[in-house]
Amino acid sequence: MAMAVGVFDSGLGGLTVLQALRARLPEVPFVYLGDNAHAPYGTREADDIFRLTCAGVERLWDEGCDMVLLACNTASAAALRRMQETWVPADKRVLGVFVPLIEALTERQWGDNSPPREVAVRHVALFATPATVRSRAFQRELAFRAIGVDVEAQPCGGLVDAIEEGDTELAEALVASHVAALKRRMPAPEAAVLGCTHYPLMEAAFAEALGPGVRVFSQPDIVAESLADYLARRPEMLGPGTQPDFLTTGEPGRVGAQATRLLRRATAFRAA
């Protein structure tokens, strides 16, 4: 029998998704696990990301979460496909945050498996971690659904660390320089994808640096809507259990303090 739904992230970025999930699905208990001891994932190798993500997902299965959402783009990009093909047992589900975003960008319905077609948007800027950019998973998933879309990807080194440390000034400066670097290669993007769940915390800075006329796609609300749709079609993946919980592989006191600062609400973690 399924219990709460698990939400996994390399650190604290997934809390942006969790907030949107709790607002959209208030009746669903979520168990959050941040692998803060090994964060950030964005600079790690793919095999390393796969191993760490599998360990985190198993820990959430132990908590009674038969379904786990990888609220981490790096894990979704570098590990999810391999996990689904080689590792996830038949009675469990592991979902990622990339596909809902691409479905929103290409205006396709969930599970629409028709051939790729032309879409309204032509020039897309992708801001993500170095590992996500390296994986090319975004471009691969996009190619399944759309043709004729030019994606320019900008690896945003240092940004996750600045956000988790609460250094807003540094984070804003990094956003400005990463956007400037991208615009030298793609002067007029029509859409910008914030391809890391930490980045919604800097959404205003991205929007300002990109300027008016660029539509910014941010994951939390898109992913929450997609999961609500999924659970409506697969209610058996839900079960009893009413207590939300926050776990970390890091130091619970320190992680809880960071999370409280980021979310502006008291958030207590326990050791995973």
Task: Express each pLDDT in 50-72 by its tens digit.
Answer: 999 999 999 999 988 889 999 99
Token couple for 11: 């650190």
CB 253 within 8 A of CB 232: no
CA angle 259/265/269 to nearest 5° reads 45
CB 105 within 8 A of CB 215: no
> Does the pLDDT of residue 148 top 90, yes or no?
yes
Name the band, by pLDDT with cuts 50, 70 and 90, for residue 74.
very high
Least confident of 111-115, 150-154, 179-183: 111-115
Average pLDDT over residues 168-176: 97
Q: Is 156 a catalytic residue?
A: no
What sign does the CA torsion over 68, 73, 75, 76 have? Answer: positive
Can you tell me the distance from the alpha carbon of 138 to that of 100, in angstroms, rounded to the nearest whole number? 11
CATH architecture of 99-218: 3-Layer(aba) Sandwich (3.40)
> Does the pLDDT of residue 2 top 50, yes or no?
no
Give the up-direction half-sphere exposure of residue 171: CA atoms within 13 A in the CB hemisphere: 19
pLDDT number for residue 53: 98
pLDDT number for residue 238: 75
> Does the pLDDT of residue 254 top 50, yes or no?
yes
67 - beta bridge partners?
Answer: 93
CATH architecture of 5-96+220-271: 3-Layer(aba) Sandwich (3.40)
Domain range annotation of the chain: 5-96+220-271, 99-218
pLDDT number for residue 116: 92
Which residue out of 54, 65, 156, 196 is catalytically annotated? 196
pLDDT number for residue 262: 86
> Does the pLDDT of residue 1 top 50, yes or no?
no
pLDDT number for residue 115: 92
Number of neighbouring beta carbons within 10 Å of residue 217: 18
3-state secondary structure of 226: helix
The proportion of the chain whose per-residue pLDDT surpasses 90, expressed as a percent, equals 83
> Does the pLDDT of residue 249 top 70, yes or no?
yes
pLDDT number for residue 56: 98
Q: What is the pLDDT of residues 97-135, one digit of tens each?
A: 988 999 999 988 766 788 999 999 999 999 999 999 999
Q: Is 65 a catalytic residue?
A: no
Which residue out of 54, 65, 72, 156 is catalytically annotated? 72
State the pTM of this model: 0.91
> Does the pLDDT of residue 193 top 90, yes or no?
yes
Token couple for 27: 């009746």
Question: Where in the chain does DSSP place strands (E)?
Answer: 5-9, 30-34, 67-70, 93-95, 117-118, 123-128, 146-147, 150-155, 191-194, 215-217, 245-248, 270-271
Average pLDDT over residues 177-202: 97
Average pLDDT over residues 61-86: 93
pLDDT number for residue 140: 93
Name the band, by pLDDT with cuts 50, 70 and 90, for residue 239.
low
What average pLDDT is seen over the chain? 93
